[in-house]
Structure 1
Amino acid sequence: MEEVRVKLPFNLAAGETEYRSGVWQGLVLKWQKEHLLLELPAEADSISSAVYGGGMGRLKRAVNQFVSRDYECSNPVRDMEAKLVEWGYPLEGCAGLMTAVPLEHAAVAEEDTGSAGIFCCVTAAAGNAARAGSQRSVLAAYRPGTINIMLAIDGWLSPSAMVNAVMTATEAKAAALADLGISDAENGLPATGTTTDAVVLAVSGSRRYAAEHVYAGTATDLGGAIGRLVYSTVTASLRSVKAAEAERK
């Protein structure tokens, strides 16, 4: 299997603040003040767990906002909307995520499978790693997401395949955490995510590939690629954060 090429594209010291997709023409990821901006070349079908503009709908851009770990999060929707207005982005067609991960640790990977072009960007840290399915304390209020996944696919997927793609991405995230030996601090069990992860999936609906994807599980070329990209970018972002923390000590 060909190794996934992962980039950490934002070398701020060198002035590198923009990444242009090689698999979806016109898709751009930008490092901006306090946020990452994923700009699509045209409106796309979307499904997401974004705190702002989440659910199913049409998407033109996604924003991953950096907030401090002590962010007072009683009304994140209001706070995100105020920021979008401040930054001059139209509210319609926008999904908003929040993260406490410094944005220069964003990891990006892409693949053209021959039946779709897939872009993946992840910001990840594991300070609040948790295991789904085990007894643990719960949060009464929103907390900024710690592993945020932004997936963009240039191709045609059925609605069920889009849900399947999110499932596969989630499985890949859990696999990356397991292989890195990350555990739930409350019970010591292998973590499957963090307490506040989020995902955004955008799909162009383009017919330029001669393929109609009705599945996106791990046995499909689409799902296999999604799994590889998510696994690799989650791993790379976590390692980047860990290396920076070790350097500061």
Structure 2
Amino acid sequence: MLETSLYAPVKKFLEGLGFAVKGEIGGCDLVALNGDSPPVVVVCELKLQFNLELVLQGVDRMAASDEVWLAARLSARGKGRESDARFRNLCRRLGIGLLGVTATDGVEILLSLAAPMPRRDPKRRSRLVNEHKRRQGDPVAGGGSRNPIMTAYRQEALACAAALADGPRRPRDLRPDLPNAYKILRRNVYGWFVGIERGIYGLTAAGHEALLRWPQQSRTPQVEGRGGAVAAETIVASPVEA
């Protein structure tokens, strides 16, 4: 199947909207005009399936036209890019319309140029800001996904682990420097902690391994120990992930 197979149904669709349509003008697959002095110039690029290359072609055509549309065959199983919300949102932000050509050569408007911009997600935005502010330093290089990410929560959990490295302690002993110590020890997301007895926590083998993988820097403020005020380690997550 060739891209030229899309030309006739898209041309018929645009002519039904009152446009005069011609193909292969100035490197554009389809150019449609409507009105005079000056006319409304519509460019449509054709591909057998929606992809990034088609979007890039559309962006290139925007400087010479009033409207840009991208047309492609609809996926038979509905799993093409036309079903990807990220793809549609990209085209919406760029101001590019999408047309889908069916197996029977019908044409459907998948994304109108009048479609509203994607809404911002305030909760998602808030999570990004909160994580950015809580994370100490810049411990993870962007672009990787295979290694565990050094989140702010992992940094706090490592700080708790380092505070227990020399022996079991109570959450309240850690609270002056680690306000979330009780929640972290109790939830034990990574399996680093173990309850020794009521209200006292120690490190598991996994916890010791985590400290070897992510060594911690420390300073020594005063916190309340079981026998009074004693020196204890306040831990700061290492800025570089091992």
User: Which TM-score tier does this pair reach, normalised by the shorter chain?
Assistant: under 0.3
Normalising by the residue count of structure 1, what TM-score does the alignment of the two structures yield? 0.24
Normalising by the residue count of structure 2, what TM-score does the alignment of the two structures yield? 0.25
More helix by share: 2
| Bigger CA radius of gyration | 2
Structure scoring higher RCO (CA < 8 A, sep ≥ 6) equals 1
